Amino acid sequence: MGKRGAGAAVACALTVGAIASAVASATTGPGPVASGSRVAERAAGPARRVSVIAGGDILTESRVRTVAAAHGAATGARFDFDPLFAPVRPLIESADVAICHMELPIGAAGGSYGNHGRSPYGGNLLVAPYEIAAAARSVGFDRCSTASNHAYDVGAGGVASTFEALAASGVGSAGTARSVAEAGPVHFTVDGIRMAHVSFTTGSNTVSPAERWRLNLSRDPSVIAGQVARARADGAEIVLLSLHVTHEMLPAPIAADHSLVATVVQAVEVDAVFVHGPHVVQPFGFVGRTPVWWSLGNFVSEMGGPTAAGRYVDPRTGDGLLAVVEFVDMGGGDFYVDARSIAICNEYAARTVRAATVELARPDLPAGLRAEMQACLARTRVVVPDVG
């Protein structure tokens, strides 16, 4: 179990240039000089450590696809999402493990996408284009959570095509599964640290599959805790939990969702919890010693933009967070945890994803875009005061 630090959010983010400058100054200066017969001694290397970044909901609604299609037209591609994500690529690539939340099922290569009708519960049945998987990998995500309320919108076929699209792009996934063998915690190793990712949804936009393992659908804390415990038993030193909840637009989690997470982390050792689904940013905090992002908001969507409708015209739906957490091995099976949050903003018309503090540090930032970034950062700091 990680030893939980108080993990204050960092109120700034380094640009790529600043990082490169710091590295250069650290590596080009003269090293220590041995004098006489004294032999220079090298201090012990750093402890094992791993950094994780998790982003909010990826939604490829009409406006997002329109912009991506316009970018793709230059090369003859159906869609090119890379320019939408390019500004945050250095941040995401900086982590050892980067996790996205693919809220929609992904269609087959060259296949259909968009609206596939109405659910019996009133929502739209949605499918993301195949190209979004490669875009997730290109921006730096190496795995995604896939359990969500939309995951079963087009049935078992959509679960299978999502897995296949992500796998073809080299992106791992946890949550939905094509078979019992694929269901449950997903294990991987980084810098010798054994990790596992668990992904659940508390609801479905349509009729749930008879085989609950296809969707990892449960509101039962014992079921969720059971998968975490299984991951521990199978050797995971760090377990990450992604949880999709169903109450939208609220500034804080409902009591039932708070209780669900609290019950899970009190029952088993969870090293970080990333919550999805509300479509707006909610607070960051600790439950016991576990860092919890109660909602990472949206990574990209048409919400809060010029074609948004209904409650989704709310500008908060254009905002999100990158959850950043570093685990440092303290020995004896304990990890120190340093956690922070970075404000993410969807540009109003272009739907380009930007990190507010990075953009606001640019002296050449156009006035209109500066105003958008300032408004996004101000909204987010109302909820997460020390966001960077």
What pLDDT score does 23 carry? Answer: 29
Listed in sequence order, the residues at least 6 apart from 261 whose beta carbon sits closer than 8 Å to its beta carbon are: 243, 253, 273, 275, 287, 292
- What is the chain's length? 388
- Asked if residue 46 is part of any domain, the answer here is no
What pLDDT score does 29 carry? Answer: 35
CB 288 within 8 A of CB 266: yes
Residue 58's DSSP bridge partners are 102, 300
- Asked if residue 35 is part of any domain, the answer here is no
What pLDDT score does 35 carry? Answer: 29
What pLDDT score does 149 carry? Answer: 97
**Residue ranges in the chain whose pLDDT is less than 50:** 1-43
- Asked if residue 31 is part of any domain, the answer here is no
- Asked if residue 37 is part of any domain, the answer here is no
Using CA of residue 244, residue 245, residue 247, residue 253, what is the dihedral sign? negative
How close are the terminal C-alpha atoms of the chain, in Å?
Answer: 27
Q: What span, in angstroms and rounded, lies between the C-alpha atoms of 127 and 107?
A: 6
pLDDT, one tens digit per residue, over 363-381 is 999 999 999 999 999 999 9
What pLDDT score does 15 carry? Answer: 33
Q: For the chain, how many structural domains are there in total?
A: 1
Helix, strand, coil share (%) of the chain residues, nearest 5: 30, 30, 40
- Asked if residue 318 is part of any domain, the answer here is yes
- Nearest to residue 97, comparing CAs of 354, 345, 387, 326? 326
- Asked if residue 302 is part of any domain, the answer here is yes
Which residue range(s) make up the domain with 105? 51-185+199-226+242-266+273-383
Q: What span, in angstroms and rounded, lies between the C-alpha atoms of 293 and 321?
A: 9
pTM comes to 0.89
Q: What span, in angstroms and rounded, lies between the C-alpha atoms of 182 and 171?
A: 15
- Asked if residue 4 is part of any domain, the answer here is no
Residue 105's DSSP bridge partners are none
Q: What span, in angstroms and rounded, lies between the C-alpha atoms of 234 and 211?
A: 23
What pLDDT score does 45 carry? Answer: 53
- Asked if residue 38 is part of any domain, the answer here is no
